[in-house]
Amino acid sequence: MGRSNGIKILTVLRKEITAGLRHRAALASMLMFALTALACMSLALGGAALEPKILAALLWIVIFFASTVGLDRSFEDEAAAGTLATLKVYADAQSILFGKMIYSLLSLTALTIFLLPMFIILFDCPIAAPLSMLLTVALGLVGLSGAGTLIAAIAATASVKSGLFSILLFPIVLPIFLPAIALTSAAMLGGEISLTMPIAMLLYDAILIVASSILFDYIWN
């Protein structure tokens, strides 16, 4: 990827950040969903102690569904406004994909920065291995943003959009979430963590990004 493509990616990213700061709809929707989900689960449990595996599963469930509230708007707003054709004129497919993918990752990072401390406080969740926890979250968010950007592009061109994004996204990110839940549980307990699962997550993230890059050319053109 040459310097000119890097500049185009940064241009698309700057455009996404500017639009996101101006409207704030996607990020606000994710944050409100996460806050509502956490409050409902906390009230329903009534302070009952849960096993780390269940806590880890709840955390990633909230992250997944909160992300579906915001990531699906990556292309939908532009498709509704009729500006996708204009975007094609100023940037090539790969620059658009990676610019939006980086913005999706930044949005998910902001969501997690808001969500994770609240989750730890509300559920009295111990984190015995914080570095392992951060690595697991980072690998999970990279895969989620990579898959989410591609699925958002597919859903934006579909005639029936209701629920399509979540239906298509879940089976793709499931191979990321299963080791992520196991690693998150291990980080809470502070037990020995095998390198097999982080490496598997990293490889799957790379496969998702490469596959998204290849498929996006066919979707966009």
Q: What is the pLDDT of residues 152-191, one digit of tens each?
A: 888 877 665 657 788 888 899 999 999 999 999 998 887 6
**pLDDT at 96 (0 to 100):** 86
Residue 82 pLDDT level (bands cut at 50, 70, 90)? low
* Nearest to 220, CA basis, from 12, 107, 79, 70: 79
Please tell me the distance from the alpha carbon of residue 38 to that of residue 90, in angstroms, as a whole number: 41
What's CA 114's distance to the chain center, in Å? 14
Question: Is 80 exceeded by the pLDDT of residue 127?
Answer: yes
Please tell me the distance from the alpha carbon of residue 188 to that of residue 120, in angstroms, as a whole number: 10
**pLDDT at 12 (0 to 100):** 83
Tokens of 104: 């999706």
**pLDDT at 159 (0 to 100):** 60
Question: How many other C-beta atoms are found inside a 10 Å radius of the C-beta of residue 214?
Answer: 10
pTM over the 0.75 mark: yes
Whether 203 and 176 have beta carbons less than 8 Å apart is answered as no
46 compared with 2, residue with greater pLDDT:
46
**pLDDT at 2 (0 to 100):** 55
